[in-house]
Each structure stands twice: as structure tokens, then as C-alpha cells.
Chains A and B, each alone.
Chain A
Amino acid sequence: MPEPAISVRALTKSYGAVEALRGIDFEIQPGEVFGLLGPNGAGKTTTVEILEGLRPRSGGEVAVLGFDPEKQKIQLKDRIGVCLQATNMSEKIRVREALHVFSSFYRRSVDTNALLRRLQLEDKCDAFYGTLSGGQKQRLALALALLNDPALLFLDEPTSGLDAQVRAEIHGLLEQLRGEKRTILLTTHYIEEAERLCDRVAILDQGRIIAMDTPRQLQRQSRAASTIVVTCDKAFPQDRPAWPEVVNSTVDETGRTLTVVSRRAAATLVELIKWIDQKGFELLDVHLKQPTLEDVFIELTGKRLRE
């Protein structure tokens, strides 16, 4: 097994009496896209900033690409790419100048023209930063993070505050990076981003990791119920059988669409279809909605991700 790109053991961080991180452990393997999810104040940014070498830790062991971020900051920063959540540049700096200056900080850097093409900034290369749209600024932030061809990328809320179309564009770029087998640590407020992009996610709440697995596995482990929606040609009767593990069942105003919430969706669905057949109804439509990562998140933290 290769050495993990990131290894975190019993990591703690306190700000005076406030414990921001209360002993977290995780590893990220090379080529893995790892998502860190959590409500505001959960400790995501603190964790990421400790790993990037921007903040000292209070306790625990951390190795990033084999470096101790606290003691080998410069060596580490030379190998990683960071796309910050809140950052800015001088209004009067041109896109090409920004890439040129920042590439001079690294021992190795990629061809900036190729990077401009890849990030679709070629026609904006002489534009001032102040004239760029939100999406273009974010693409430039990604370009700066990729300048040194990093082995490990930290993306802190890379699509925060962007509209849906720009977010989709950035997702396309992130999927390309994922396809290149780069190791990525992503923090996000958008659950669909984590579901779509991450191989594994950790849910952080009040300074502790309360769940960590693949998004699919987390959904499977969830106690949250699935929803079955069936539509038939005739109205459903009020007296319906008590199917096992069903939490609730309701009929809409037409009487022909039945919504059943069940903790064992597959078993319930079989029973439901049998019952419909016995009744002699014609089945017109069936939908099964399994718990999303958002449902899992709410179940574990009691909060919505964007709260």
C-alpha cells in the first residue's frame, strides 16, 4: 500500500478555551478525492489550514506528502496547490501577470499558456483582475493552484457564491482533475458537489469526525427512510395495509398517487406492488427516492449543510 498523501492522528486545535478540533483521525490515499463536510464552525477550515501549513496545531500528528506542515512549511507549499475560499488580487493585475509572478515562487511550474487554455482564460489573459466575472476569478484561482503541477490540491469551497452555471463549469474542471488521479482535499457547502466529486467524505461536527466513508456507503448506512411514490389508474382506498417498516403513507388530492415512506424500501416496494395487483389497479408510475447525503448529514448533525 502506498504511503498516504495525508495522514492525521489525534489532531487537536484550541483557541484559548475554545476547542476547534477535538482529536480527529483520517488518511487520504494518493489519487483520492476526499471531501470534508460540516456545518459552519465545525472545524473544516481549521483542519485544512493546519494541513496547508498556515496554522499551528495544538496536538496530534500530521504528515502531508511526508512533510510536517508546521516544521517544513516551505517544502510543503512548494508541492501543494491551494484554492482559497476567501482571497483577492490587486484590481489592476493582469491575468497573465498573476500567473507569471506566482509561477516564480515555485521550483517547478507548468506552461502558463497551456494552463490559460485549459482554464478557458486564454482570451482574458490581458484583462485586469478587477474586470473578471466571479467564475473567471475562480478559474484564475484554480489556475494559480495548478501552477506548480501539485501532487496534492486543497480546494476550500471552490464554488462558494457562484451561480449554478458557473458552478457546473467548475465541476467540469474538477472532474478533469479527478480524472488525472490527483489527490484532492475538498471542503464544500454543496452536498451534490461532494456526492459527484468525492471518493470518500468525512462529516465533521463540533471538532470531531462523526462519519467517514464513500458517499454511497454513508447513504446505505443511513437510518433515514426512503420514499416510494406510486401512481395508479384508480383512487387508493383510505384503509391500506400496515406494511412492515413503513413510517408514513399519504395519498394526494387526486387520490391516485400514493407516497410511502419506508425504512426498508425494497421489501415495502414488493409488498406494495403485490397489493396493487391484488386490487386490480393498473400501475402507471413508480419512483424510489433513497436518502441523499444531505439526509445523512441532517441525520448525523441535526443541521443542514448550508446553515
Chain B
Amino acid sequence: MKAYAALIGLDLRLALRQRSVLFYNYLFPLIFFAVFAEVTHGDPSVEMAQIVVMVTILGVLNNGLVGAGMRAVQEREANILRRYKVTPITAAPLLVASTIVGWILFLPLVIFLFGLAHYRYGMPWPANLGEIFFFITLGIVAFRAIGMILAAVANSTQESQIMVQLIYLPMLLLSGATLPVAMFPHWLQVVGQFLPATHLVSGMQGMMLRQETLSMQKEAIAALAMTTAVGLFVSYKLFRWEKEEKIRASAKLWIGAVLLPFVALGAWRALFPGR
């Protein structure tokens, strides 16, 4: 446990010393929120909670895919992980520390966002705030797990950037986080059902806009929890300490394994839309 605690402390300090982390984790989402909130403030057709959901999902995607995914590849390329390889630890403390630190770094943004939405723009406090925070937590750890799989299978920073963008953009556009799903043709709505972010968005929207409870998000919770478990397991198994350790091209199929719960969920929703 000593190693876990020490790595969590170190990761947190290192993250807070990086200007880019502070910018992408806090400043960028807040600017984004402020712009949207100011533009739509007073517009009865837009609920402030909707903007909070959008910015939260944007933050989760950034934190998970960029924060966990690309950073690990950069550390491996810079020969930083190699130093850990000669010590008596496995990859587990590094992966767990990265996941927990991602969550710790994200919480202040969520608190600030909700506070700003409430005090500045008059958003009523959701009745199930604790449950919403739990759901966001699950989203963060699931997307960190997806990010860590990307780190495990990408052979270079450049490759990881491409992979992150290939996953990030469809999720941002098709999940309902930034554009209303209803405006998409039906087939695109079906495609969106297969994306992890869609379930995070629909779950959060349900809890924020329709006062749904956590127990009503069982499918999304199961899919996110399973993604976390499979993601951590696979990234542990495929963890690479050195840039010279190349991975088989077939290992990239593990990304599919992590997304499998969402494929199942998407198929379920596509086949039985009313349930």
C-alpha cells in the first residue's frame, strides 16, 4: 500500500505542476461553460443543467482519453517508466494511481461547475447530487481505463494522438453531449448507442434534467463498471514499460474488448428501443 499512496501523492503533485493539466482540466472547460452559459442565459429553451452536463462530459473525455492515455505514452517514450521497471512493483500501482489522481483532479471542476451554475446562473441544486457525483466518478474511472488501454496499444505519442481523436470526436459529436441526438437521422442515433459517452450523457441528463435516480441508470452503470474492470485488467496485461517493447497489431483488438459492454448495450437499445 505504501507504493500506491506514494504514487498517488507524486502523480497529483506532478499534475498540478503542469500548466497544460491545469489548462485542459480546469480553465478550458470553465471558459467553455462560461461562454455557453452567458450566451444561453435567459433563453427559456435551454436549461443550465444541460450545459453543465455538456461541459462535464467534455471534461470526462479530456481527463480520461488525453490525461490517462497520452500521458502514459509520453512517459514511456521519455524512458520514465523504464526506471520503475527495475523496482519490485508491478504495473498495478501505476495504473491505480493514475485512475485515482484523474478522479481527484476532476472533482474540483465538477464542484466549481455546479456552484457556478447554481449561484451565477440560478440552476436549482439537483435533488440527487450525491448520486450524480457517484455517476460522474464511475464515468471518470471508466474513461481513464479506456485511456490506459490506448496507452498500452499505441506505439508512439503520434499514434496515441490519432487514436484519441478517432475515439474522442465521435463521442463528443454523437453522444448527445454537444448536439441534440434528436437532430440526427435514425441510423446515426443507433450508431451513437454504441458509444460509451452516450450512456454517460443520457444517464447524467436523466439525473440532472428529469430528476431520475441512480437506480434508473442500471444499464449505464453496469456498462461503465464493466469497462472499468476490463479496461484496468487489459491495460495491466498489456502494460509496456519501454518504447522498445513493441506490441502485436492484434493486441489493438483489446480496445474492442473494453468497448464490448457498450456494443452489447447499444445492440440491446437498438433492438428494443422502448425498454
Interface residues of A (CB under 8 A from B): 52, 54, 73-75, 77-78, 82, 84, 86-90, 92-93, 97, 100-102, 104-107, 144
A97 CA to B11 CA, complexed, in Å? 11
Q: A88-B78, A105-B88, A106-B87 are in contact. Are A100 and B6 (CB under 8 A)?
A: yes
Q: Do B79 and A104 touch across chains, with their CB atoms under 8 A apart? A: no
Q: How far is the CB of B29 from chain A (nearest CB, A)?
A: 23
Count of chain B residues near A, Cβ 8 A: 23
> CB of B2 within 8 A of chain A?
yes
Which residues of chain B are within 8 angstroms of A86 by Cβ–Cβ distance? Answer: 79, 82
- With A88-B79, A97-B13 as contacts: A104 and B6 at CB distance below 8 Å: yes
Shortest CB-to-CB span from B8 to chain A, Å, is 10
Given contacts A88-B78, A104-B5, contact A93 B87 (CB under 8 A): no
Q: Is B3 in contact with A104, judged by CB distance below 8 angstroms?
A: yes
B18 interfacial by beta-carbon distance below 8 Å: yes
Which B residues are closer than 8 A to A by beta carbons? 2-3, 5-7, 9-10, 13-14, 17-18, 75, 78-80, 82-83, 85-90
* Nearest CB of B to A241, in Å: 60
**B residues within 8 A CB of A82?**
86
- What chain B residues lie within 8 Å of A104 (beta carbons)? 2-3, 5-7
Check B80–A89 contact: CB distance below 8 A. yes
CA–CA, A89 to B78, complex, Å?
A: 8
Do residues B10 and A84 form an inter-chain contact, with CB atoms below 8 A? no
Cβ B88 vs Cβ A106 within 8 A: yes
| Cβ contact within 8 Å between A105 and B82 | no
Decide if A102 touches B85 in the complex (CB within 8 Å): no
The answer on a CB contact under 8 Å between B83 and A87 is yes
Asked if A84 and B88 sit within 8 Å, CB to CB, the answer is: no
Contact A101 B86 (CB under 8 A): no
Cβ–Cβ < 8 Å partners of B9 in chain A: 101
Contact yes or no, B79 A87, CB < 8 A: yes
- A54, A89, A90: the one contacting B86 at CB < 8 Å is A54
Is B14 a contact partner of A90 (Cβ separation < 8 A)? yes
